[in-house]
Amino acid sequence: MTLAVLYKLLAIMATVAMGWLAARLGWLGRIAAKGGTGTRGSAGTGGNDPARVLSNVAFTLFVPALLFRTMVRQDLSAMPWPTLAAYFVPAVLCALGFYAWQRRAGLQPAAAPATRSVAAVYGNAVQLGIPMAAALFGESGLALHLALVSLHGVLLLTMLTVLVEADIARGTEQASHRDTLRITVRNTLIHPVVLPVIMGLAWNLTGIGLHPVIDQTLLGLGSAGVPVCLVLIGVSLATHGAREGLAIALRLSAFKLLLMPAVVLLVAHLGFGLAGMPLAVLVMMAALPVGSNAIIFAQRYGTQEGVATLAILASTVCFMATAALWLALLGAMGAMG
């Protein structure tokens, strides 16, 4: 692991610690009592709960701004689609497989299986992934990593949003199949993740582009999401404690750090014939620790907050060891140049 990546890891943990300290000292207001439950888009345990306030702002303002700007600025014709498919095919399979496992286990409430699935497959591709790719693979590797980042949230979060909204709609009392479909489609289309993606893609296809003032506004809002989400992790840790959901958080971390990159390695190498630097970029993208979107997704649906918080922390700490493992394996395969 390079010194730059180590510094980034330490900076992430320091920001989380500052969020925890701010919550414990009451700088952000009242911390809601443990065990409180919330509903989608609500204040949950109360409008003064700092975790819910931060989550709502991030999910309804910062994340949509980031997704919309990403889709508008994306040069779709220049994307390395075969290489991207080598990553997202196994990533989607991992997400669907984990989701099916959680559904089969009867996990409740209805939003819990998809919410856990976000933690199992969605990595910290920006804060940690970008400096890692730049340090390990140079300019060409960073370019490929950024192409992956541009579709990372768009594909995985959109897919998991559809699944969670379908589960919630099915859980509605006496809902018919037609009602379930109608509710799922409506709630998915107006969702803070899906709607800006659709609008951004539509704007992209017009070829108009963004006015500099609008672009800078969206850039500022999107950039704010990263530190806010890290602070939210610390606040959530102060709210839920360090023991709630620890066992499942460790299993989620193992899935994200070990199983998912193994699946990507096998599918990309054997199924798509990738080798060398492109293969290494894809595997290390899959090997990244759980991203902060897991906590705002959990806060959005009022479930698995403690699990998501601990999964982010545990996987980030363990990444120091697992990254070295994957880099050694890739080096033995001749993929590290």
Encode pLDDT of 139-177 as tens digits: 888 889 988 988 888 889 889 988 998 888 887 655 566
Of the candidates 218, 201, 187, the one whose C-alpha atom is nearest the C-alpha of residue 155 is: 201
Question: Higher model confidence: residue 328 or residue 6?
Answer: 328
Find where tokens 């990403």 sit.
Answer: 70
Residues of 294-311 as b/e, b for ≥16 C-beta within 10 angstroms? Answer: bbbbbbbbbbbbbbbbbb
Q: Is 302 left (phi over 0), alpha (psi -120 to 50) or beta?
A: left
Number of C-beta neighbours around residue 39 at 10 A: 14
Taking CA atoms, 315 is separated from 34, 99, 217, 238, in Å, by: 23, 19, 33, 18
Q: Grade residue 191 by pLDDT with cuts at 50, 70 and 90.
A: confident
Residue 17 has pLDDT above 60, yes or no: yes
Of the candidates 38, 66, 62, the one whose C-alpha atom is nearest the C-alpha of residue 51 is: 38
Share of the chain above pLDDT 90, in %: 37
Q: Grade residue 138 by pLDDT with cuts at 50, 70 and 90.
A: confident
Are 290 and 123 a contacting pair, CB within 8 Å? yes
Residue 210 has pLDDT above 80, yes or no: yes
Number of C-beta neighbours around residue 90 at 10 A: 25
User: Picking from 41-55, 93-107, 266-280, which range would have the lowest pLDDT averaged per residue?
Assistant: 41-55
- Alpha-carbon gap, residue 159 to 96, rounded angstroms: 9
| CB within 8 Å of 154: residues ≥ 6 apart | 67, 70, 71, 197
* Per-residue pLDDT at 173: 58
Tell me phi and psi for residue 290, to 5 degrees: -60, 135
Q: What confidence tens digit (pLDDT) does each residue in 43-63 have?
A: 344 456 777 788 788 878 988
Q: Which long-range contacts (C-beta less than 8 Å, at least 24 apart) are formed by 43-47? A: 44/299, 44/302
